[in-house]
Chains A and B, each alone.
Chain A
Amino acid sequence: MNLDFSNDEKEFRKSIRQWMKENVPDDIRRCTARGAMPDKNMQQRWERLLGSQGWLTSTWPEQFGGPGWSATQRYIFDQERASAGAPPTSPFGVAMVGPVLYTFGSEAQKERWLPGIQRGETLWCQGYSEPNAGSDLASLKTRATRNGDHYLVNGQKIWTTQAHWADMMFCLVRTDSTVKQQQGISFLLIDMKTPGLEVRPIYSIDGHHHLNEVYFTDVKVPVENLVGQEGMGWTIAKFLLTHERTTIAGVADIHYEINRLKSAIDALPTETDKQLAVRRLAGLEVDLMALEYTNFRTVAATDEGKPFGPESSGLKIKGTELQQRVSQAMVEIGGLMSLPWDNEEPIGEQIFNQASRRYNFLRACTIYGGSNEIQKNVLAKMLLGL
């Protein structure tokens, strides 16, 4: 038992902290401190900056261009990233299609796509959900019909985050409707500029455009963009669910949010208001500590070569619940100061000015990536044997 970081890890932290101090661009830092979300330009500048250090793909094995960090180092990096006010990186390239490609892809596919992800140049989006296939993903209907050296894709995807930014989509399509649902699904890489592909915006309750509908009308996708074999799509999708999720709880970013909120307590009107806010924050901090130590355990286990399996779903469930509770606390503690929506100048503490947008945005986090109820169904089956 040892709950301390080693001296080497402490040195690593120091060097990352210094680098963050010198390199996180001011406009991005200010944007995060305000509680706003980075725009495409900021997001991509930040990811390219990490890419130029070889740090964007820190979870990848060294042979595919990862920096060779331990899970503990990755965890420390994430803590320093968040506390420096830098945004999390977009998961679609780095955490999703990248690992799929180096695990299931052909040599040609790896060569073609991995470098762009590594350098932060190619932006990806995830074509999974459909209007009638949300939590019940396996019922998806978008179909790909083989036609010589290409597939013709027809159908519709929905809730596609950043489709309007993306260069490429990884997409689950139905290639066979004569077999069991799960066995007829394939994994395709689709260029977003292909004729017949149309992206339409969906505005979220935070007032911003993150989500889209994507329509496919006879979209031609070369067969070399099929990953693995036809019918392997479901296996690949499940692989992603158990792929490393040591930062899925969002502990580092929750710390950042709690600290932001702490710094604003002095702006509250009365001593009683302040005391109640301090008490509420302490409750959130205690819950965060329980999540963080569970997270540490998964990190330590990963470094011992015994990564947590489906147990890490617990991190997703508790982490997203806590993100929501912190964002709600921010709005409620801000009170009147949280009400203005599109004003330039905050009527009180700056932090509360964007709080309600963030609160609205985060209602999605218990839904995306497999709703928490679906996570619980999976856990009940896989771990509890119910």
Chain B
Amino acid sequence: MDFKLPENTTMIADTARRYLKDNYSFDSYIAQLNESNHLEANRWQAMNDLGWFGLPFAESVGGYGGSLLDVCAIVQELGAALCLDPFVDLIVSPGKLLEFANTPTSLALLDRIISGEARVACGLYDRHAGYHVLNPSLRLNGERLSGQKHVVSDGGVADAVLVSAMSGDELAIVALPFDACDVERYRLLDGSRAASLTLDDVLITDEMVLCRGDAAKQAVSAWFDYLCALDCARMYGACREVYQATLEYARTRKQFGTTIGSFQVIQHYLVDAFIDLQQLESMLLMVSVKGESANVCERGRATAAAKAYYANRAVGITQQGIQIHGGVGVTEELNIGHYFRLVTHASLSHGDREHHMSRFIQAGEKQNEVV
């Protein structure tokens, strides 16, 4: 076994960290939080220049052939910086779904994402189906799409959306323009922008259906696992910052004439956070590799375990971070509470803890069948 990051991944991580340090402060975040359009032209161009738009995709489809590990390295830094630029929502998420769908139409659209022209979001969730992405409530009857999509993360700017729908017993992925739907836009827990879409007998054409049946299922399932791994990366970056900031605070904040870090109970909280962070890092490394494994059962078991673990311990670190900061920890003006919201958000997107515990149990049963 070897847990060293490849040199290339380390370079990508370093570049991302430096770029965000120079270009994205807490003030940038607060400014963006108050905007409904999260696509800031200069930074968007800079990310394109850094090669991030092509990185997640295979060379055979016009990408730069980066691994999930590489993308996790970037997303970790985005989490650490609280960055709301919709890199995942408008590039990685729709791009990976299109790549996994792997049809001429989907790859043509992927091309336009990589070049930075397209503003496409993913609409794979609705409140009726919850996290069960293989059984959405949206219905495709003949040429008509009806139903709802919720929490369509789009940076507030998407003009097209990839939706999943059931066509009889068959899953289908359909690309359609936003303006075919009734759109309600809002902010999410982590400060990012999203929309609810209502489709009322929307007429679609054959070429708008990207894929169907098993092909669609496999694509959505691979997409789901990939996005789970990115959730973990984002949470790890945030937890890393909260831990560092809290440790620093404990070293400097004085009460009763001494630093609070000299109190044993605070020391033990921080050691707990240190150990949890170490284990979160282990789980991130694991899921960054296995989250794109060709073995579907192993892939699902890995992402389920990682997300379930993060929903418990990553959330725990940020809760404790607030506790140790005391009153200032619950204020909007300090970053700690914002990290807490980010981590809580990421623990609930793409499957919450119980959803992943169920997946983990099912994957274990399947594994036993194979053995």
Contact = CB atoms under 8 A, between A and B. Distances in A.
B296 to A, nearest CB: 17
A317 B270 contact: no
A147 to B, nearest CB: 42
A279 B275 CA distance: 25
Given A286-B308, A289-B305, A2 B282 contact: no
Given A285-B360, A376-B268, A384-B267, A293 B2 contact: no
Contacts of B271: 376, 379-380, 383-384
A386 B3 contact: no
A383 B274 contact: yes
- Contact residues on A (Cβ < 8 Å of other chain), bracket: 35 or more
Given A3-B1, A296-B3, A314-B274, A289 B267 contact: no
**Residue of A4, A279, A286, A379 contacting most chain B CB atoms (<10 Å):** A286
Contact of A314 (B267, B275, B288): B275
Contacts, number: 107
Given A1-B4, A380-B268, A386 B309 contact: no
Given A297-B282, A376-B267, A384 B274 contact: yes
B24 to A, nearest CB: 27
Given A314-B275, A318-B279, A377 B360 contact: no
B147 interface: no
A373 B268 contact: yes
A385 interface: yes
Interface in B64-94: 69
A294 B279 contact: yes
Contact of A318 (B6, B275, B308): B275
B270 A289 contact: no
Interface string B273-290: 011001110110110111
Contacts of B360: 282, 285-286
A210 to B, nearest CB: 28
Nearest to B284: A293
Interface size class for chain B? 35 or more
Contacts of A297: 3, 282, 285
Interface in A237-288: 278-279, 282-283, 285-287
Nearest to A283: B357
Interface centre among A72, A299, A317, A379 (most CB of B within 10 A): A379
Contacts of B9: 1
A296 B278 CA distance: 12
Interface of B: 1-6, 9, 69, 247, 250-251, 261-262, 264, 266-268, 270-272, 274-275, 278-280, 282-283, 285-286, 288-290, 305, 308-309, 313, 357, 360-361, 364
7 contacts: A3-B285, A283-B357, A290-B283, A294-B282, A300-B1, A318-B275, A376-B271
Given A1-B4, A282-B361, A314-B278, 8 more contacts: A2-B1, A3-B1, A3-B285, A291-B279, A293-B283, A297-B282, A380-B271, A383-B274
Interface of A: 1-5, 72, 278-279, 282-283, 285-287, 289-291, 293-294, 296-297, 299-301, 311, 314, 317-318, 373, 376-377, 379-380, 383-386
